[in-house]
Amino acid sequence: MKIDSASSILQSALAVPPAIQPLSSPQATQPAQPQETQQKQAVQRTAPQETPNDQISINITVPRQTMETIEKIGSVTDLLNTTAKNLRETGTTLKQSSDLMAQMKEELGKITKNFPPFPPESAERRDILMSYQAIREQIDKMSIPPPPAPVYERVQVMWKELFSSNKPNAVDTPALSANATDSQVHQADEQLTFTRAAVTQLREAIGASLQD
């Protein structure tokens, strides 16, 4: 009986009370996660991270001679662009003057081709001459710039013949009053034909100078 009693006491002494038993590991106590959540976590752990800056700076050394060549090319390009712009402006205004002169001739044709001729006191004839004068005023207000120097040197003789000293940048056309005679109308019509032909020749000469 003593041995059994000692054995019971020893077992009681060696027994670990529940309050101080070691806790189980967190992994063992956590509930099982769904398979889809586990896969997402695996992807997040294995996906590579992008760097915040993907730009790369590169320094290039260009020889001085190459830079000078580039600057010259840029200057030549600017010169060509300016020359082309000025030529277009000259050509456009010359064409506009030619078109207006064609309208002036059309108005005079209403008088010269009318049969029987208008009587001097005709109101319709007066209106035609007033319309002619209105078109002429449009030409007087136009300023035709000369072409750039290289082109102007080739056409300066024709330019000076077409443009008078009084109107160096405008085409000179004949003026007619509302009481102009038939003879004056015919003379103005002939002068317009000559002047318009001169404008056409000048435009063609400017175009030909670019092809030489």
Q: How much is the mean pLDDT over the chain?
A: 75
Structural contact between residues 94 and 155, judged by C-beta atoms closer than 8 angstroms:
no
> Pick from 113, 107, 100, 124: which is nearest to 173 by CA?
100
Say whether pLDDT at 43 is over 70. Answer: no
> Pick from 118, 131, 134, 129: which is nearest to 179 by CA?
129
- pLDDT, tens digit, for every residue of 67-101? 566 566 666 677 677 777 888 899 999 999 999 99
* Integer-rounded Cα radius of gyration of the chain: 50
The four Cα atoms 32, 37, 39, 45 give a dihedral, to 10 degrees, of -100
Q: Which of 9-13, 82-86, 115-119, 133-137 has the highest mean pLDDT?
A: 133-137
| Choice between 77 and 24, residue whose per-residue pLDDT is larger | 77
pLDDT range class, residue 208, cuts 50, 70, 90: confident
The whole-number pLDDT of residue 169 equals: 84
> Pick from 174, 189, 192: which is nearest to 112 by CA?
189
Segment 39-48 shows an average pLDDT of 48
Query: Which whole-number Å values give the CA distances from 105 to 14, 99, 109, 186, in the listed order?
Result: 134, 10, 6, 10
For the entire predicted model, the pTM comes to: 0.63
Domain ranges of the chain: 87-211
| Residue 202: partners with Cβ closer than 8 Å, 6 or more residues away | 94, 155, 158, 159, 162
- pLDDT, tens digit, for every residue of 134-182? 999 999 999 999 988 888 988 999 998 898 777 778 899 999 999 999 9
Segment 182-197 shows an average pLDDT of 95
The whole-number pLDDT of residue 60 equals: 47
Q: Give CA–CA dist 44/55, Å, rounded.
A: 26
Q: Which of 8-12, 118-122, 165-169 has the highest mean pLDDT?
A: 118-122
